[in-house]
Chain A
């Protein structure tokens, strides 16, 4: 591939763009696992784009490719028509975990990028103080990050990004580690800065799993599908700023995105019609939470049917957690989602009404039918003479489809469910699965 390609015509109005970007992670199979599948994307001047998707849809990887932190396996990203190989001047990032240097004061952290650019001390100081004032941190210049609350720390993260006067701001789930009130305040302040043009930033990309954040901030919402990650929908948000969260159009947009995230689209549905394979990444839902959700859904006011955004709000669930649970309930055949709603199926009602032992029995049946990995483990254990098998064998099989880390995660989930359903036993010390019931 040539080192530098200029696409003057193609990306004329684009600030940052992705061209047929693919990303593959190594697994046991030669081809590896595809996490991003031929993504084309352009961030135009003057817009905020939110990228939404389930966890594991590759949205964070995609943002890192745009940032120049991760190399795409195929295709490339560009900034103002120039190929991105390393982080470029003009693109700054705000991190989910804040990523502040604990040994630097607020001022030191904000000055970091300027110092690396070789900006003289006086100017560095002046600009850093200005950025700190802008984001509402004046008075905290000499504080160390550990003295600050989460919200204040993320403000430092924003100041550090804004002080280098970036064209493009990449936000990687910037509000997800903050409590709701703090997150909303900071979100509002960021929107104020953008609306009043008090920052020279010309475009923002926000990666999030919070639908409200996306609808509140973005001019355009891109919904990522998973396995492999791809762009499923591109929804414009034509609301005037500042936005009112109670506005009916706002609400209906939230509903629309919810529906998109919980229903299975064309190609995925076709594949889902066939039974899922051994390497299916079963969502790591906790059985306690699933049970609780099913119980709640079977009772008033829902009576077996609920609007997902409302459910999330009244049951105090994050969108991400709810999505995982909805996927699991669908997978096990306990519920069905569509159009932003969830409906409990008869099996789910029976499960919710049953006693503890009976529940385990129902879960056992559904798990063996719906999760090929669980059925496979049980079959192997039934067939082997000592009715036991080392975990390594199953992990190796999983690693044909998944990365080592994902294989571990899927395995742990299936162990958890299998223990609950008393489908098999597992001893962590020896790493042996067996049919013995201690």
Chain B
């Protein structure tokens, strides 16, 4: 596919001539390969339960730890990519599969990510006995869960949105289903996918940090990485080590941004279905290098060869329509049977859950957990409202100054990507020092990392307001509160809702790590469902972990349905500018 997608392919002879860029590219590529080999070797070291992996706070070890963290991130991203392509393709192609897969995805999306870690870690350990690989897999799986759902939804929606005329053209010119997938559907979905990948990775850093320190059945396992480093720093009340970790993370995110996402974003511009040439992005230096350095041409050539071979192979496969062309009545009967199977399956599962809860925890505790959930809900709502009060005026102020906005946007994007849990120790040490009430002062941690989504979207929304509207408002003398009520608030509403949805989802997730905090041997505890899950996870009480996660998940689902989805629809139908 590389050839089709515009990575330059030239005939062999000219490709053999090295260019200046090769001087930079060669060491980068081979250095990267050696580092990857080292990190992957470290991952499969022998390990036995109870053993402690030494984590040193010496900053000299930080680069190695950072590399391990990056490695986990990269593996999770690759896994997410493969998962999302397969899952979304099946959901988009088969009506029957869609009925099951999309609701499942919807639920998975609202399960707190650290909940996945608590549930799956024992299984992964059993999978690779006597090796660190099980723990590594559990951590990678947690990061995977923070990225995969969102990417899958994006792909699924893109697949459904492929323009009808392009589909017809693909059929008319006899593209096989396989070819059509790689030449039409994937390219069409790419821009949105890359954007979502970038957002997912931003969110992923938070969970990388949180999932490296795994507690199973009352014992702590620290996987070498930045997250473990900071965990040890907390134990030893070492603020300067926290500072080093923050610095290392900063460098990591910058590298990801420069080497992966900037080039990717610029490259996918060509896949956008636009009728006119849009604003050209300045090509990032890394993309320029990839396009100029001859060594990458070899890689691109290899890709196009693979594409050719696979499409040849796919041509031999029987084409799908002939299989699908069955009698309609038979198809309808199958549909009905399928719905019956789905309903039956979910009924059985419901009974199973009720039995489980009654046998293991009892209904009073269920009620108690629901109350805890309500308390956390209150925190989330209040925090979003506060964040809106603070960031909407600031965002609008920045958005009205396009030059400033363009300079400040990458900074905010960066802040959103930065794992807020690295800052937790600083805040917590302050709470301890000033003896503040944890019930109130731990709460802001939940929104520390996610508030930037609100700011970011408000700025984007204000930038998108047509200048004419502002001029008309000025011309009619619309000022002060009227100006906000009639122009700005409706104008930025869709963007604000998008930001607030993201922020609230992130806050629910963060509740598990922010309602309980440690600083040395002091533990601060706020009442809430996040604290409940965290405590039970530490104890390894599986039924109670499951209960906590289920209830939290229910809250998120219902809240999304009742509040966010409606606001979203309102924004979509009424207040869209185009």
Q: Which residues of B contact A9 (CB under 8 A)?
A: none
Size bin of chain A's contact surface = 20 to 34
Task: Quote the shortest CB–CB distance from A297 to chain B (angstroms).
Answer: 36
CA of A97 to CA of B163 in the docked complex: distance in angstroms? 10
Q: Which one of B173, B272, B319 has the highest number of Cβ atoms from chain A below 10 Å of its Cβ?
A: B173
Contact between A108 and B4, CB atoms less than 8 A apart = yes
CA of A363 to CA of B169 in the docked complex: distance in angstroms? 45
Contact between B174 and A116, CB atoms less than 8 A apart = yes
Task: Quote the shortest CB–CB distance from B567 to chain A (angstroms).
Answer: 14
Q: Which residues of B contact A113 (CB under 8 A)?
A: 173-174
Task: Quote the shortest CB–CB distance from B174 to chain A (angstroms).
Answer: 5
Which A124-155 residues have C-beta < 8 A from chain B? 144, 146-147
Residue of B nearest to A150 (CB): B275
Task: Quote the shortest CB–CB distance from B336 to chain A (angstroms).
Answer: 18
**What is the total of A-B residue contacts with beta carbons within 8 Å?**
74
Chain B binder among A86-94, A183-191, A279-287, A408-416: A86-94
Q: Check A101/B166 contact, CB under 8 A, given A69-B171, A113-B174, A117-B174.
A: yes
Task: Quote the shortest CB–CB distance from A139 to chain B (angstroms).
Answer: 18
Does A373 sit at the interface, judged by CB under 8 A? no
CA of A86 to CA of B177 in the docked complex: distance in angstroms? 13
Task: Quote the shortest CB–CB distance from A140 to chain B (angstroms).
Answer: 14
Q: Which residues of A contact B574 (CB under 8 A)?
A: 429
CA of A67 to CA of B172 in the docked complex: distance in angstroms? 7
Chain A contact residues, majority secondary structure: loop
Q: Which residues of B contact A64 (CB under 8 A)?
A: 168
CA of A100 to CA of B274 in the docked complex: distance in angstroms? 11
Contact between B174 and A89, CB atoms less than 8 A apart = yes
Q: Check A147/B166 contact, CB under 8 A, given A102-B271, A103-B5, A116-B173.
A: no
Contact between B168 and A69, CB atoms less than 8 A apart = yes
Which A81-117 residues have C-beta < 8 A from chain B? 85-87, 89, 92-93, 95-105, 108, 112-113, 116-117
Contact between B173 and A160, CB atoms less than 8 A apart = yes
Does A164 sit at the interface, judged by CB under 8 A? yes
Contact between B168 and A146, CB atoms less than 8 A apart = no
Task: Quote the shortest CB–CB distance from A346 to chain B (angstroms).
Answer: 44
Task: Quote the shortest CB–CB distance from A26 to chain B (angstroms).
Answer: 12
Q: Check A86/B171 contact, CB under 8 A, given A99-B165, A101-B166.
A: yes
Q: Which residues of B contact A97 (CB under 8 A)?
A: 163, 165
Which A53-99 residues have C-beta < 8 A from chain B? 64, 67-69, 85-87, 89, 92-93, 95-99
Task: Quote the shortest CB–CB distance from B357 to chain A (angstroms).
Answer: 41
Task: Quote the shortest CB–CB distance from A93 to chain B (angstroms).
Answer: 5
Does B321 sit at the interface, judged by CB under 8 A? yes
Chain A binder among B23-31, B179-187, B450-458, B493-501: B179-187
- Contact digits for B181-220, partner A, Cβ 8 Å, 1 yes 0 no: 0011001000000000000000000000000000000000
Contact between B270 and A87, CB atoms less than 8 A apart = no
Q: Which residues of B contact A2 (CB under 8 A)?
A: none
Q: Which residues of B contact A117 (CB under 8 A)?
A: 174
Count residues of B near A (Cβ-Cβ below 8 Å). 32
CA of A113 to CA of B166 in the docked complex: distance in angstroms? 13
Contact between B271 and A103, CB atoms less than 8 A apart = yes
Task: Quote the shortest CB–CB distance from B505 to chain A (angstroms).
Answer: 28
Task: Quote the shortest CB–CB distance from B509 to chain A (angstroms).
Answer: 34
Residue of A nearest to B171 (CB): A87
Q: Check A101/B183 contact, CB under 8 A, given A69-B171, A89-B174.
A: yes
Does B333 sit at the interface, judged by CB under 8 A? no
CA of A116 to CA of B172 in the docked complex: distance in angstroms? 11
Residue of B nearest to A118 (CB): B315
Contact among A86, A99, A100, A116 for B168, CB-based, below 8 A: A99
Does B175 sit at the interface, judged by CB under 8 A? yes
CA of A92 to CA of B169 in the docked complex: distance in angstroms? 9
Task: Quote the shortest CB–CB distance from B526 to chain A (angstroms).
Answer: 41
Does B276 sit at the interface, judged by CB under 8 A? yes
Q: Which residues of A contact B172 (CB under 8 A)?
A: 67, 69, 87, 92-93
Contact among B173, B187, B277, B312 for A112, CB-based, below 8 A: B173
Contact between A103 and B321, CB atoms less than 8 A apart = no
Does B10 sit at the interface, judged by CB under 8 A? no
Contact between B274 and A164, CB atoms less than 8 A apart = no
CA of A160 to CA of B166 in the docked complex: distance in angstroms? 13
CA of A87 to CA of B274 in the docked complex: distance in angstroms? 27
Task: Quote the shortest CB–CB distance from B279 to chain A (angstroms).
Answer: 13
Task: Quote the shortest CB–CB distance from B270 to chain A (angstroms).
Answer: 5
CA of A430 to CA of B44 in the docked complex: distance in angstroms? 61
CA of A194 to CA of B183 in the docked complex: distance in angstroms? 32
Contact among A89, A102, A112, A429 for B270, CB-based, below 8 A: A102
Q: Which residues of B contact A96 (CB under 8 A)?
A: 165
Does B6 sit at the interface, judged by CB under 8 A? yes
Residue of A nearest to B186 (CB): A103
Q: Which residues of A contact B386 (CB under 8 A)?
A: none
Contact between B276 and A146, CB atoms less than 8 A apart = yes
Q: Which residues of B contact A164 (CB under 8 A)?
A: 173
Contact between B169 and A103, CB atoms less than 8 A apart = no
Does B176 sit at the interface, judged by CB under 8 A? yes
- Contact digits for B1-44, partner A, Cβ 8 Å, 1 yes 0 no: 00011100000000000000000000000000000000000000
CA of A92 to CA of B165 in the docked complex: distance in angstroms? 14
Contact between A116 and B274, CB atoms less than 8 A apart = no
Contact between B176 and A116, CB atoms less than 8 A apart = yes
Contact among B5, B166, B175 for A99, CB-based, below 8 A: B166
Task: Quote the shortest CB–CB distance from A146 to chain B (angstroms).
Answer: 5
Task: Quote the shortest CB–CB distance from B189 to chain A (angstroms).
Answer: 11
Q: Which residues of B contact A85 (CB under 8 A)?
A: 325
Q: Which one of A68, A93, A99, A117 has the highest number of Cβ atoms from chain B below 10 Å of its Cβ?
A: A99
CA of A96 to CA of B416 in the docked complex: distance in angstroms? 44
- Contact digits for B135-177, partner A, Cβ 8 Å, 1 yes 0 no: 0000000000000000000000000000101101101111110
Q: Which one of A87, A116, A118, A147 has the highest number of Cβ atoms from chain B below 10 Å of its Cβ?
A: A116
CA of A93 to CA of B167 in the docked complex: distance in angstroms? 13
Contact between A102 and B272, CB atoms less than 8 A apart = yes
Q: Which residues of A contact B277 (CB under 8 A)?
A: 146-147
Contact between B168 and A103, CB atoms less than 8 A apart = no
Contact between A103 and B187, CB atoms less than 8 A apart = yes
Residue of A nearest to B273 (CB): A102
CA of A253 to CA of B291 in the docked complex: distance in angstroms? 58
Residue of A nearest to B325 (CB): A85
Contact between B171 and A102, CB atoms less than 8 A apart = no
Task: Quote the shortest CB–CB distance from B49 to chain A (angstroms).
Answer: 51
- Contact digits for B526-537, partner A, Cβ 8 Å, 1 yes 0 no: 000000000000
- Contact digits for B268-298, partner A, Cβ 8 Å, 1 yes 0 no: 0011111111000000000000000000000
Contact between B321 and A112, CB atoms less than 8 A apart = no
Task: Quote the shortest CB–CB distance from A3 to chain B (angstroms).
Answer: 10
Task: Quote the shortest CB–CB distance from B86 to chain A (angstroms).
Answer: 22
Residue of A nearest to B169 (CB): A99
- Contact digits for B92-106, partner A, Cβ 8 Å, 1 yes 0 no: 000000000000000
- Contact digits for B52-77, partner A, Cβ 8 Å, 1 yes 0 no: 00000000000000000000000000
Task: Quote the shortest CB–CB distance from B489 to chain A (angstroms).
Answer: 17
Shortest 8 CB-CB contacts between residues of A and residues of B: A113-B173, A99-B165, A99-B169, A103-B271, A116-B174, A103-B187, A97-B165, A116-B175
Binding site for B on A (CB under 8 A): 64, 67-69, 85-87, 89, 92-93, 95-105, 108, 112-113, 116-118, 144, 146-147, 160, 164, 429
Query: Known pairs A69-B172, A99-B166, A102-B273. 9 more at Cβ < 8 A?
Result: A97-B165, A101-B184, A102-B272, A103-B6, A104-B4, A112-B175, A113-B173, A116-B174, A146-B275
Pick 23 A–B contacts, CB within 8 A, sort by A: A68-B171, A85-B325, A86-B321, A87-B173, A92-B172, A93-B168, A95-B165, A95-B168, A97-B163, A97-B165, A99-B163, A99-B166, A101-B169, A101-B187, A102-B270, A103-B271, A104-B4, A112-B175, A113-B174, A118-B315, A144-B270, A146-B274, A429-B574
Binding site for A on B (CB under 8 A): 4-6, 163, 165-166, 168-169, 171-176, 179, 183-184, 187, 270-277, 312, 315, 319, 321, 325, 574
